[in-house]
Amino acid sequence: MTGPTKTRSGSFFFVMTSLAKDDDICYNKTKPLQRTASGKGIQVGRKTKLTERQQALIRYHQRGKRTHILFNGILSWGLLTGFLFLTIQSLWNDGFSFSAWRNTVFSGSGMITVLTFMAVGSLWGLWTWRQIEKNVAEIDEKRRKGKPKNQMC
């Protein structure tokens, strides 16, 4: 195994552990990633090979829907966008004043704004999760076409 590398999968950035080139990976819904020691590279079935991007997407899908919505929807999109919106609003109305920014962000209406952005972020996370499931289903369909019926992996 090599060390962690940054990988881009669609519009999602995350750190994943890259696999050595000689490790085989087979994708199966009950055991999504399974390593074998045949030394023929990353392979699914006989003819279908998973790219690094597809492997990263499968690993990301394994984290689960709840984790995706929480981190990518609510925290990454909702919370950060809410604070960015309030910061721009404070700069627009009051100029460069830290006390004005603090009063804007930590007021009652500021908290309601951040909570609203977080709620919309959960919808964003749900929508992007559906796209991830669609892409994983396409990978699984391609895997099934290239796999013989008697193969276990």
pLDDT digits (tens, 9 = 90+) for 71-117: 999 999 999 999 999 999 999 998 888 999 999 999 999 999 999 99
Average pLDDT, the chain: 76
Question: What letter would DSSP give residue 66?
Answer: H
Report the 10 Å Cβ neighbour count for 66: 10
Distance of CA 140 to CAs 61, 82, 88, 94, Å? 12, 37, 44, 54
Reported confidence tier of residue 152, pLDDT bands at 50, 70, 90: low
Q: Phi then psi for 48, rounded to 5 degrees?
A: -90, 120
Burial of 88: CB neighbours in 10 Å, binned 0-12, 13-18, 19+: exposed
pLDDT at 147 (0 to 100): 61
pLDDT at 49 over 90: no
Q: Say which range, 65-69, 82-86, 105-109, 145-149, has the weakest mean pLDDT.
A: 145-149
> Measured between alpha carbons, how far is 71 from 92 in angstroms, rounded to an integer?
29
Q: Is the pTM of this model over 0.85?
A: no
pLDDT at 48 (0 to 100): 57
Boundaries of every domain in the chain: 4-63, 65-136
Burial of 17: CB neighbours in 10 Å, binned 0-12, 13-18, 19+: exposed
Average pLDDT over residues 1-11: 47
